Structure 1
């Protein structure tokens, strides 16, 4: 069963406080390949690996139904720095 962006958005927002969220369906609409960018205070003090494991655990039910899932995770300050470099 395909996952839609609303399902992913609701699952993420229900689990952690999010200040910015981008969800991109990279599978031309079939719902099997997603890239997410999550900005949250919940990531403060965590390494990138710890953040990704945290998100993978939060979304394990949804990820199990996908072909591919990629993520970028930032604290609010890191995201501000990231935008400043663009």
Structure 2
């Protein structure tokens, strides 16, 4: 799996999302901005993302993921 595939998978799975993915091999860093994260704790956000990556993790295509999960408001505040 490559970073473009990870990006497309997450963008198609998480409504109203923008995803930036980097990495190679089976280690990836992702930043996901989505209004779907509003009202969710950091842990709940990460659990949501992992639920969409579970198949790739189970197959070994993804070994490690480092993620930032932001709402649009949080993303605007950091820019």
User: Please, which of 20, 28, 31 is the counterpart of residue 34 of structure 1?
Assistant: 28
Shift in Å, 1:56: 0.3
Cα root mean square deviation, aligned: 1.2
Tell me whether 1:72 sits opposite 2:61 in the alignment: no
Structure possessing the higher radius of gyration over alpha carbons: 1
Deviations, residues 30-81 of structure 1 (Å, cap 9, x unaligned) = x211000000011011000000000000111123322211110000000111
Unaligned stretches of 5+ residues in structure 2: none
Question: Which structure is higher in helix share?
Answer: 2
Q: Aligned residue pairs: how many?
A: 76
Contact kept in structure 2, 1:63 and 1:69, CA below 8 Å: no
- For normalisation by structure 1, the TM-score amounts to 0.80
- What is the match of residue 47 of structure 1? 41
- For normalisation by structure 2, the TM-score amounts to 0.86
